[in-house]
Amino acid sequence: MTSSWGGNRYLPFAFTEYGILHLANVLHSDIARKESIRIIEVFVRMWKMINFHQGILKKVDMLKAKYNDHDEQLLLIFEYLNQMEKERDIELDCQSRRKIGFRPSSQEHDV
């Protein structure tokens, strides 16, 4: 929360790795130095994990894009197959119908 005059009303509850490094330079006790080193090590591990997960997320995004393209291509193939099936059904339906219209007497008995 900030005051209307500027600045923070409360002390922060979190530190950055740079703040911890500055704190380690100011405090001269052995316990403070050890704890500062441990906290910096935690920050280093955290950054490594974040970078590792970012790499994994990029690979997942690449795979999604690759397979998304495959999905579109498969949908297009299925559309073509459905269209060909409809055309074949129409053609078979037309062939199975009895033709209407004038027929000479020799063709009447052929059907």
Beta bridge partners, 2, equal 8
- In a domain? residue 107: no
Question: Which domain, by its residues, includes 79?
Answer: 17-96
- In a domain? residue 9: no
- In a domain? residue 73: yes
CA atoms within 13 A on the CB side of 89: 6
- The pLDDT of residue 79: 93
- The pLDDT of residue 16: 74
- Residue 73: what residue type? Q
Closest CA to 23 of 33, 12, 31: 33
- In a domain? residue 12: no
d(CA 55, CA 47): 12
- In a domain? residue 11: no
- The pLDDT of residue 83: 93
- In a domain? residue 51: yes
Predicted TM-score (pTM) of the model is: 0.38
- The pLDDT of residue 81: 93
What DSSP character marks residue 109? T
Per-residue pLDDT of the chain (111 residues; tens, 9 = 90+): 555 676 667 766 667 777 777 777 777 788 877 887 888 888 889 888 888 888 888 888 888 888 877 888 888 999 999 999 999 888 888 877 777 777 777 655 555
Query: Based on the structure, what is the number of domains in the chain?
Result: 1
- In a domain? residue 1: no
- In a domain? residue 10: no
d(CA 8, CA 41): 28
